[in-house]
């Protein structure tokens, strides 16, 4: 797949699913909303840590979104792997994340958006984490 | 009335315009005769059976399972002891959906996910543990196998356990699923056989059941998985019947059994129940009339034993909120009520902790108790089709039928239901509805209590959700290695080769699957045979 040339007036977000669970409603909605807000968004589906890292490096992602769908222990491993390989790229997480798991992930320094999160908060987070606000 | 109230457009959840009230003249003339008919006859608008719930209340039928087969066995027995009147097996999504054994690299990378979404069942031995002590001859069981490619394994595994107990398969009650809406729309696996071979498997199962398991519902079209992906109420009707047409046309083309007999098997379907109470209730009424009309007009079938559609429903998981989860007990009750007003035959109520985890024991008990309260304390079971004759309900039912048929025709014009999954057209309809709904919530036009309105919580009642177990993966690895080492290797190899040859030919794969299961061929081995024979479906969506 050819790498699109990087536009200077936006930030690029790669969104992946860490679990082998094909439910796509959440990540699709978030990707759509971030796209509408002016970000370049790439959805890459169910991927292992090394695949997410490879895509994020190749695309020079400014932010990585992980849909974790309740699978917390595996998400923690993926976050640690990304942190080690791409320490400068911020990560945010969405999906079915019970309160206890939300606290654990937040303690790792990632932002967590469980079901019922408002899209404007997710878009604001993208602006804050990438340092780029297409809306201005 | 304020100016705002006058200007606001009132619609059903699917966008059908609603009047402030209805009169007799609002019911289309051609619908009135059915509306004045009786349940259990004619177009079955008013119910599948003449006596409604008096003879038999709806079946309490909850999805359940996690961890090791032993954990799932314990949960199923708990639910049956609490009054569940059937049971649904849930296979671990990581392994079952993709047909990987636990030592497949994609699973190894996610070892700690294994068992979170169902029990790991990699051979007939695991299925036997999950079913241990459950009287299969007397209990209506759902064998799992929601994902199309997994169904032959799940069904043949369940039937092999029954056969090993010496049970007569021809008397075995239960249901399969093999659900295109789950597999290709709602939750596509990472690797999945294409839709064409999927259809072939489903009709193989239909034909096999006709011959060997007449009391088993071979495949069940679960519109739930289309609806919870975004498909609206009338689209759900249209997509479900376009799916049924695909099955029945294929039965007709193969010419090995009567379409009527296949229709009897296929005519146990499932829908999602959501929060628009009257639209959801009327959707069930509409579905029954659409089914009997479809069978008469397209296949010339008038047999009332075939034309009475039986409906299972599950309340919408996506309507259960993360915030203030106890509110979901009310939501589960109302969605269940909609189905009961619509005259459904079985019901699963989502756990109140649905947005946090798979159900805890207490959430599961609550789902059963909600249904028991509805069955025993409300007098809802006394009179069939209580909405029948309401000007509003009949008008809405007629409108859902008209729009549902139009959507069905749109699908047929594009080559049919499978073609619309392959092209991504149905997925695109789901996605556009998701976006529209989310925007309505974001603007506050659609209120979700506790989420985008009334979010104050004076007594925060935080629940943990279900924690699961942590030994499912290790046990799964031990067991899959054990089964490969201890079985009759020559018999297992021969069964795999026969299955591979069968997949490349035209014969029914189910007898070959029965032998493969009895020979203790594993989930991943069957998956490899399917992948070699059929290749992978190319998903039109990025998942």
Name the residue ranges covered by the structural domains of chain A. Answer: 12-126
Best B92, B96, B97, B110 residue to mutate vs chain A (most A CBs within 10 Å):
B110
Q: What is the ipTM of this complex?
A: 0.91
Point out which residues pair with B217 in neighbouring strands.
B175
pLDDT above 50 (res A3): no
Closest by CA to B441, choosing from B431, B432, B453, B455, is B453
- Of A23, A28, A116, nearest to B187 by CB-CB distance is A23
Who has greater pLDDT, A23 or B287? B287
- Of B431, B452, B465, nearest to A98 by CB-CB distance is B465
- Contact call for residues B115 and B92 (beta carbons, < 8 A): yes
CA distance A133 to A69: 27
Nearest residue on chain A to B188, alpha-carbon basis: A22
Q: What is the pLDDT of residue B463?
A: 80
> Which residue bears the tokens 């009257």?
B278
Q: What is the pLDDT of residue A7?
A: 57
The torsion angle over the Cα atoms of residues B318, B370, B313 and B91, rounded to 10 degrees, is 70
Task: Summarize pLDDT for B177-201 with one digit per residue, the tens.
Answer: 999 999 999 999 999 999 999 999 9
Alpha helices by DSSP H, listed for B50-112, are 69-81, 93-96, 105-108
Which of chain A's residues have a Cβ under 8 Å away from the Cβ of B228? 25
Q: What is the pLDDT of residue A112?
A: 97
The torsion angle over the Cα atoms of residues A31, B316, B323 and B74, rounded to 10 degrees, is -110
Q: In which element (H, E) is residue B33 found?
A: helix B29-35
- Of B94, B97, B434, nearest to A28 by CB-CB distance is B434
- Of B109, B355, B442, nearest to A115 by CB-CB distance is B355
How confident is the prediction for chain A on average, in pLDDT? 91
Q: What is the pLDDT of residue B257?
A: 96
Q: Are A116 and B435 inside 8 Å of each other by CB?
A: no
Q: Parallel, antiparallel, or unpaired: how do β-strands B87-89 and A111-113 relate?
A: unpaired
- Contact call for residues B130 and B69 (beta carbons, < 8 A): yes
CB-facing half-sphere around the CA of B326: CA atoms within 13 A: 6
Rg of chain B in Å (alpha carbons)? 23
Who has greater pLDDT, B500 or A71? B500
- Of B357, B438, B448, nearest to A98 by CB-CB distance is B357
Show the tokens assigned to B245. 């047409």
Show the tokens assigned to B444. 């506050």
Q: Are A22 and B228 inside 8 Å of each other by CB?
A: no
Q: Is B116 helix (H, G, I), strand (E, B) or coil?
A: coil
CA distance B47 to B280: 15
Point out which residues pair with B348 in neighbouring strands.
B314
Best B113, B187, B476 residue to mutate vs chain A (most A CBs within 10 Å):
B113
Q: What is the pLDDT of residue B1?
A: 54
Fold for B36-61+245-424, please state it. Answer: TIM Barrel (3.20.20)
- Contact call for residues B172 and B216 (beta carbons, < 8 A): yes
pLDDT above 50 (res A5): no
Q: Are A24 and B190 inside 8 Å of each other by CB?
A: no
Q: Are B542 and A33 inside 8 Å of each other by CB?
A: no
Q: Are B358 and A70 inside 8 Å of each other by CB?
A: yes
Which of chain B's residues have a Cβ under 8 Å away from the Cβ of A44? 542
CB atoms within 10 A of CB B377: 8
Q: What is the pLDDT of residue A1?
A: 41
Which of chain B's residues have a Cβ under 8 Å away from the Cβ of A24? 187-188, 229, 541-543
Residues of chain B under the 70 pLDDT cut: 1-7, 460-461, 543
Q: What is the pLDDT of residue B77?
A: 96
Q: What is the pLDDT of residue B136?
A: 97
- Contact call for residues B525 and B496 (beta carbons, < 8 A): yes
The CATH superfamily holding the domain A12-126 is Cobalamin-binding domain (3.40.50.280)
């Amino acid at each position: 797949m050819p790498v699109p040339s990087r536009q200077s007036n936006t930030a690029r977000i790669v969104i992946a699913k860490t679990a082998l669970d094909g439910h796509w409603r959440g990540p699709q909605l978030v990707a759509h909303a971030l796209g509408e807000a002016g970000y370049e968004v790439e959805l890459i589906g169910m991927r292992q840590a090394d695949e997410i890292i490879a895509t994020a490096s190749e695309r020079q992602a400014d932010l990585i979104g992980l849909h974790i769908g309740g699978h917390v222990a595996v998400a923690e491993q993926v976050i640690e792997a990304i942190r080690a390989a791409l320490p400068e790229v911020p990560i945010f997480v969405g999906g079915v994340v019970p309160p206890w798991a939300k606290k654990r992930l937040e303690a790792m320094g990632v932002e967590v958006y469980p079901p019922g999160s408002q899209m404007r908060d997710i878009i604001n987070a993208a602006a804050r984490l990438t340092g780029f606000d297409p809306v201005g | 009335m304020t100016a705002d109230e006058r200007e606001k457009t009132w619609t059903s959840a699917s966008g059908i315009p609603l009047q402030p009230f209805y009169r007799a003249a609002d019911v289309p003339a051609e619908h009135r005769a059915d509306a004045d008919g009786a349940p259990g006859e004619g177009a079955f608008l008013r119910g599948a059976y003449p006596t409604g719930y008096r003879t038999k209340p709806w079946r309490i039928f909850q999805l359940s399972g996690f961890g090791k087969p032993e954990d799932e066995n314990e949960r199923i027995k708990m639910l049956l002891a609490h009054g569940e009147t059937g049971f649904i097996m849930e296979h671990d999504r990581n392994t079952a959906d993709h047909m990987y054994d636990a030592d497949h690299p994609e699973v190894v990378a996610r070892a700690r996910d294994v068992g979170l979404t169902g029990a790991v069942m990699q051979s007939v031995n695991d299925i036997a543990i999950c079913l241990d002590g459950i009287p299969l001859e007397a209990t209506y069981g759902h064998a799992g196998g929601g994902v199309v490619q997994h169904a032959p394994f799940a069904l043949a595994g369940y039937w092999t356990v029954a056969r090993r107990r010496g049970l007569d398969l021809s008397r075995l009650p239960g249901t399969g699923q093999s659900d295109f809406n789950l597999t290709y729309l709602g939750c596509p696996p990472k690797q999945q056989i294409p839709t064409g071979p999927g259809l072939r498997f489903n009709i193989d199962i239909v034909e096999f059941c006709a011959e060997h398991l007449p009391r088993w519902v071979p495949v069940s079209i679960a519109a739930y998985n289309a609806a919870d992906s975004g498909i609206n109420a009338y689209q759900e009707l249209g997509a479900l019947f376009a799916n049924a047409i695909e099955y029945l046309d294929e039965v007709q083309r193969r010419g090995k059994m009567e379409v009527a007999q296949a229709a009897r098997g296929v005519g146990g379907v499932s829908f999602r129940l959501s929060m628009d109470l009257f639209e959801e209730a009327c959707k069930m009424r509409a579905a029954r009339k659409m089914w009997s009309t479809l069978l008469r007009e397209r296949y010339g079938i008038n047999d009332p034993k075939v034309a009475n559609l039986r409906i299972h429903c599950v309340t919408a998981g996506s309507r259960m909120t993360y915030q203030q989860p106890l509110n979901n007990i009310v939501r589960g009750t109302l969605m269940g009520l909609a189905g009961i007003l619509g005259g459904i035959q079985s019901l699963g109520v989502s756990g109140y902790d649905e947005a946090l985890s798979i159900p805890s024991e207490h959430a599961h008990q609550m789902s059963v108790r909600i249904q028991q309260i509805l069955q025993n304390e409300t007098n809802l079971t006394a009179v069939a089709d209580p909405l029948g004759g309401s000007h509003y309900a009949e008008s809405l039912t007629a409108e859902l039928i008209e729009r549902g048929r139009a959507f069905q025709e749109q699908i047929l014009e594009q080559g049919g239901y499978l073609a619309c999954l392959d092209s991504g057209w149905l997925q695109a309809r789901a996605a556009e509805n998701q976006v529209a709904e989310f925007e309505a919530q974001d603007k506050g036009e659609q209120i979700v209590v506790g989420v985008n309105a009334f979010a104050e919580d004076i007594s925060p009642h935080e629940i943990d959700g279900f924690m699961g177990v942590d030994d499912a993966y290790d046990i799964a690895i031990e067991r899959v290695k054990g089964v490969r080492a201890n079985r009759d290797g020559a018999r297992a190899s021969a069964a795999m080769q026969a299955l591979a040859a069968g997949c490349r030919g035209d014969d029914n794969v189910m007898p070959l699957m029965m032998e493969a299961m009895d020979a203790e061929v594993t989930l991943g081995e069957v998956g490899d045979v399917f992948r070699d024979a059929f290749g992978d479906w190319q998903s039109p969506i990025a998942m």
